[in-house]
Amino acid sequence: MKETEFSVDSVTLEVLRNGFNMVAEEMSANLVRTSYSPNIKERKDSSCALFDPDGALVAQAENIPVHLGAMPRAVKAVLGEFGLNRIRPGDAIMHNDPYKGGVHLPDITLVSPVFVDEEELVGFVANRAHHADVGGAYAGSVSAESTSIFAEGLQIPPVKLVEQEDLDEDILRFILSNIRIPEEREGDLRAQIAANFTGKKRLREIVNKHGFDKVLGVYEDVQRYSEKRMRKRIEDLPNGNYRASDYLDDDGLGNEDLEIEVEVKVDRDRMAVDFSGTCDQVEGPVNAPLAVTESATYYSLRAVTDPSIPPNQGCYRPIQITVPEKSMLNPSKPAPVVGGNLETSQRIVDVMLSALGEADISAIPAGSNGSMNNVTFGKSGEGSPANYTFYETIGGGAGARPDKDGVDGIHCHMTNTRNTPVEVIEETYPLRVELYELRRDSGGAGRYRGGLGLRRDIRVLEDGTEFSLLSDRRRHKPRGLDGGKPGKAGDDTIVENKTEKSIPGKVARKLNKGDVVSIRTPGGGGYGNPGDRDLKKIERDLGEDRISRSKAEKDYPQYRVNRTSRSG
């Protein structure tokens, strides 16, 4: 690529590009450091990004894929609501509406304009954070039983939380009066304000050093750079139409085998992605807003083409996405959507990778656990504490790769969070973690083994605890690839009155003191013929208790032969 194609030389371009990235990274570090809730402080369930004056993505921190790919729609919604003529220096505009660029109600986005000398708009900084509760019918605002977005929490249209540096105390009081644990929510909202303040300060420093016009020119340069690299990688794929489909287990309300179908058309340096075969929107909370569908699509394409391409709006210019209205991937209000961001996004990735694997299987891993395994505990009312909400996602097995085993016990694809440490759970909430371990035998067999799922057993220490599980891959297993076996499906139970009972993957109910919930997440699929696996790796897995001897004998004929010859 020639330097003359850009407004600056290649060295300056790279210096400024990395400077933009560091604006977002420092925002992210500040948000995590100053937040109150374990969900943000410990799990890092938040994301930060930088946008140009037109609302196009310029740079992002390495945070949560489902947040980041959807955030441009949120910024565009702010511009659409206010217009540049009503946005002033010192403003911070918040919203969470999934039908206006949001993803689900617990994810609150805060967008701040960045002005230089109080006159020239140089861009926007934005962050999105998952709040452990935003009201609604169920503690934690993540329920497997919601049938309307009105049951999922407080909907916030684009509104100025901060206007010209002044926090609107009336709006803040209104929001806090509609949610559980208001002091925690206020702390997290103030952390979001602080993160954007950091971003504004750092971007102004870059402008002061390099000049306003140069920074605006480089915004377009970095987007054109990413666009050209993406077009080149698409060109490397064979032209053609590639189809795939997969299923969500259910919507939690009795509707099963919910199909997502995609057709990917590669035409020279362009790609058209069409989800027209997908099922209609459903009664339960697994509908995915359009921003989520776009985000999962963009993630999949970057993962398959070249993840080193700088992520910005330029990456996505060669990609056309078609999603039917009133489908599960583009629902109409008031369809419930809390699980679309969490579960359906994962299945969109699965179908996209399957379709793209038809074009280039060498870039595709086997199926990963395919669920965020969302667990919520909470309480609303009397007792000690009177109110609390605990939310986390639990990792599972990553799919095996063409040349490596899958990773054990990790968050995959559209989520990039950490777990909540056991010590933090037990210190902060009336809960006790009884067991936390890898699920032996859960990874699919193959030349390369699928990653293991996790088991997390949590005991409730108070009567009247509200519990919700929103998960998937409890019926449809993560697929193996190129002869590999599928990963083991998830499996969940509750022990009540010393009796263990299986529970659905999507359930909400009240628990009493002493009840134990056991969440057992799916393993990843295997890659390649199990008969080709190195015997030493099988022995290593046995020694590390990743597989049982009975599974080794069942899935690996070379192990049976070797064991028989040794015993003979």
> Is pLDDT larger for residue 66 or for residue 346?
346
Tens digits of residue pLDDT in 471-507: 999 999 999 999 999 999 999 999 988 899 999 999 9
**Cβ-based neighbours of 320, under 8 Å, separated by 6 or more:** 270, 271, 272, 273
Kindly state the DSSP code that residue 404 receives in the 8-state scheme.
B
- Of the candidates 281, 422, 261, 419, the one whose C-alpha atom is nearest the C-alpha of residue 350 is 261
Q: Give the pLDDT score at 25.
A: 95
What would the two tokens of residue 450 be? Answer: 């699928």
Tens digits of residue pLDDT in 10-23: 899 999 999 999 99
Give CA–CA dist 526/285, Å, rounded: 30
The type of residue at 198 is T
Give CA–CA dist 355/360, Å, rounded: 9
Q: For the chain, give the mean pLDDT.
A: 93
Residue 385 in this model has a pLDDT that exceeds 90: no
The sheet with strand 57-60 has its strands ordered as 57-60, 46-51, 120-130, 107-116, 92-95, 159-163, 166-167
What would the two tokens of residue 339 be? Answer: 């699980």
β strands within 311-460, DSSP E: 319-322, 374-380, 387-393, 431-438, 454-460
Give CA–CA dist 479/477, Å, rounded: 6
Residue 2 in this model has a pLDDT that exceeds 60: no
Residue 445 in this model has a pLDDT that exceeds 90: yes
Report the percentage of the chain scoring pLDDT > 70. Answer: 98
Residue 1 in this model has a pLDDT that exceeds 80: no
Give CA–CA dist 467/376, Å, rounded: 6
The sheet with strand 506-511 has its strands ordered as 387-393, 374-380, 465-470, 506-511
Q: Give the pLDDT score at 335.
A: 96
Give the pLDDT band (50/70/90) at residue 7.
confident
Tens digits of residue pLDDT in 453-476: 999 999 999 999 999 999 999 999
* Start-end of H helices in 279-421: 290-304, 313-316, 338-339, 345-359
